[in-house]
Chains A and B, each alone.
Chain A
Amino acid sequence: MAQTKTNTEDYLRMYAQMVRIRTFEDTANQLYLSAKMPGLTHMYSGEEAVAVGICEALTTTDRITSTHRGHGHCVAKGAAFKEMFCELLGKEEGYCRGKGGSMHIADQFNGNLGANAIVGGSMGIATGSAFTAKMQGRDDVTVCFFGDGATAQGLLYEVMNMAALWKLPVIYACENNGYSEYTATAEIAAGSITARAEAFGIEAHQVDGQDVLAVNTLTQDLVARARKGEGPFFLELMTYRYHGHHVGDINREYYRSKDEERDWKDNRDPIVKFRGWLVDQGVASEAEIEAMNAEIKQDAAEAVEYALNARYPAESEVDMHVYADIEHALAPHTA
């Protein structure tokens, strides 16, 4: 079970994980800009304290479900750069052998049941994962990540109802980054988001999603209580995405101003904030932090280089994995 983060090692790991996410995203963005990555991807930069604050309160056997903006959750839950970049590039050594890509990265070994390209699509899956834990008498907890836009999906209210009725160990984590694609949250969400959960009798909290310690402290408490059967819980994490909705969303002043973006980056950056705290508290020196940053940068560079040179899956893989226990779904019939 997760311990209160009182020691240096835990703080430094939280910091490192946030930097790993930012570095992964910066590298992925470069892959897109240099036309080396097939398709599009949604950047998590700016929201790092949410994924890290929450996942650092979980163990490997606790599970998460993730979203189209899922690289942050994946890294925070313990995934490795190499397999992640391989997946983004559609390579054989990717987490899903290149069959999922950015929007479907799953890392079941670390308890990540997968990103999802259907907005709100994993709310049932997360609730079902918590159902398994309860049914099998295990004490693991599942966290369901989704955006503010996804709160408009009816599925959320169906599964919260069941989770509340059956006291399932699930935490619904709404990452409110102020926008659902190109539309401000205020235009798509009536009333209060936390009040919706409260209507089902679910304890709900709004928390500053740029403050990794606030997120982590609260989540640790909720996870411990969920393990004891006091769940479900709901979190609304106030945060901001730095990039466009996806990497191709460059000219976006028609829906949000550059001033607003600058304000979040300059005054509320989760990494800068936490770094300042670490130095103030004497947990790490500026030099130690710079060394960590450099090491992570180096890791990412090596992983991306590896992925760029890695093999694509063989053509024969196209009809593999359609069904479990059937090697090739389209193998010629015996006729």
Chain B
Amino acid sequence: MREITLSQAVNEALAEEMRRDDTVFIIGEDVAEAGTPFKVLSGLVEEFGTGRVVDTPIAEPGFMGLAVGAAMTGTRPVVDLMFGDFLYLIMDQLCNQAAKTHYMSGGKMRAPLVVRTNLGATRRSAAQHSQSLHALVAHIPGLKVALPSSAYEAKGLMKTAIRDNNPVVIFEDKLMYNDKAPVPEEEFLIPFGEANIKRPGTDITLIGTSSMVQVCEKAAEILSCEGIEAEVIDPRTIVPLDEATLLASAKKTSRVIVVDEGHQSYGVTGEIASRINEKAFYHLDAPVLRMGAMDVPVPFSPALEDLTVPTPEAVAEAARRLMSGEMIHAA
């Protein structure tokens, strides 16, 4: 199968959906001729024109609000939020307006829009350009949240997001834009709420999201050399969450680590861990472990920044401790 970058995959998904449905448009800062700072959208304005690839002033709440109104009246905006860190600026329009439109109107109105943004540290960008804030929006009923872990997921989830009749926030890992993966030439969609078993295993379950899927896969390789067979699962969307697949794996292996790049406290890892505790408790041989980003603002210095994100070695080490039974006493 051909291999393309995550960036190309997103570009293809957008182009295909814009060709299929002329109500789809892109709006954000420097999305047209510049094709975004990450060059993900290069070429789209040439095909679709500035009427559908719309450059805005630097006014995140403004263009987010505009997108909500446009979505409510019959279009499907894809809002380009240059950095995930800027989510704080659009919170009212996203969480008070878009997320609640369908509910507050008793199902009479809806806001089918996509916010495409990013997450991920270790780009030496410091605390305001490195955050992974998907837990913030996953907390809000009415929003769906997708976390692609490779070019393949980036394409399939984006196409599903655009066709969804709800507001969807999709976070791309900005360190993976140039990473290649096999992506079929023919059209495909990835349904929301279907986890992907990236690597089958029997001894321990590693649940990883977005950037942390690769980390878990590398940890599984390390562990395999030591005779520990880890199962790696990528939920792909955290809202909706494919609980069934996660619980089945937890029941099978009886040990689980949840790895996610958002801050550990009050985050995605805690949510998934507690669902497993509540629903698979009697199948577990050890407490479910959370591994998130360190609870500090992301520091600039490489010497410090690298300490804040889970690594394959750290995940492998935690797995060894769980396997050894040490954690039973620690709990």
Contact = CB atoms under 8 A, between A and B. Distances in A.
Contacts of A322: 102-103, 141-142
B57 A100 contact: no
A104 B166 contact: no
A143 interface: no
Contacts of B165: 324-325
Given A155-B61, A335-B244, A108 B105 contact: yes
B302 interface: no
Contacts of A27: none
A94 B105 CA distance: 10
A161 interface: yes
Contact of B69 (A94, A124, A161): A124
B227 interface: no
Interface stretch (A4-12, A113-121, A283-291): A113-121
B140 to A, nearest CB: 10
Contacts of A320: 107
A321 interface: yes
Given A165-B57, A335-B248, A96 B104 contact: yes
Contacts of A63: 73
A329 B106 contact: no
Nearest to B63: A162
Contacts of A212: none
A128 B72 contact: yes
B62 interface: yes
Interface in A142-164: 142, 154-155, 158-159, 161-162
Nearest to B72: A113
Contacts of A131: 66, 69-70, 75
Interface string B195-238: 00000000000000000000000000000000000000000000
A161 B244 contact: no
A127 B65 contact: yes
Contacts of A94: 106
A232 B106 CA distance: 31
A158 B61 contact: yes
Given A95-B106, A106-B104, A321-B107, A126 B69 contact: yes
Given A97-B107, A121-B92, A128-B70, A321 B65 contact: no
A125 B68 contact: yes
Contacts of B66: 124, 127-128, 131, 159, 162
B175 interface: no
Interface in B28-60: 51-52, 56-57, 59
A108 B109 contact: yes
A98 B104 CA distance: 8
A329 to B, nearest CB: 7
Contacts of A129: 69-70, 72-73
Contacts of A334: 244
A128 B71 contact: yes
A323 B102 contact: yes
Given A324-B110, A325-B165, A99 B69 contact: no
A112 to B, nearest CB: 10
B73 A132 contact: yes
Contact of A124 (B65, B74, B279): B65
A114 B92 CA distance: 16
Interface in A70-129: 94-100, 104, 106, 108, 113-114, 116, 118, 121-129
B92 A118 contact: yes
Interface string A306-335: 000000000000001111110001000111
A154 B62 CA distance: 9
A125 B65 contact: yes
B25 interface: yes
A226 to B, nearest CB: 16
B236 to A, nearest CB: 16
A142 B67 CA distance: 15
B105 A99 contact: yes
B212 to A, nearest CB: 23
Interface string A231-261: 0000000000000000000000000000000
Nearest to A160: B62
A128 B67 contact: yes
Nearest to B280: A335
A136 interface: yes
Contacts of B52: 135
B62 A124 contact: yes
Nearest to A144: B69
Given A113-B72, A124-B64, A323-B142, A135 B106 contact: no
B144 interface: yes
Contact of B104 (A65, A114, A130, A333): A114
Contact of A106 (B25, B73, B108, B141): B108
Interface in B281-306: none
Contacts of A99: 103-106
A158 B70 contact: no
B96 interface: yes
Given A99-B105, A108-B105, A324-B102, 16 more contacts: A100-B104, A100-B105, A114-B109, A124-B62, A124-B64, A124-B65, A127-B66, A129-B69, A131-B70, A135-B70, A321-B107, A329-B141, A333-B244, A334-B244, A335-B243, A335-B244
18 contacts: A96-B104, A98-B106, A108-B109, A113-B73, A114-B101, A114-B104, A118-B97, A128-B65, A131-B70, A132-B70, A136-B74, A155-B61, A158-B59, A322-B142, A323-B166, A324-B107, A324-B112, A335-B247
Interface of A: 63, 65, 94-100, 104, 106, 108, 113-114, 116, 118, 121-133, 135-136, 142, 154-155, 158-159, 161-162, 165, 320-325, 329, 333-335
For the complex of A and B, 5 pairs with smallest distance between CB atoms: A124-B65, A128-B69, A158-B62, A97-B106, A125-B69
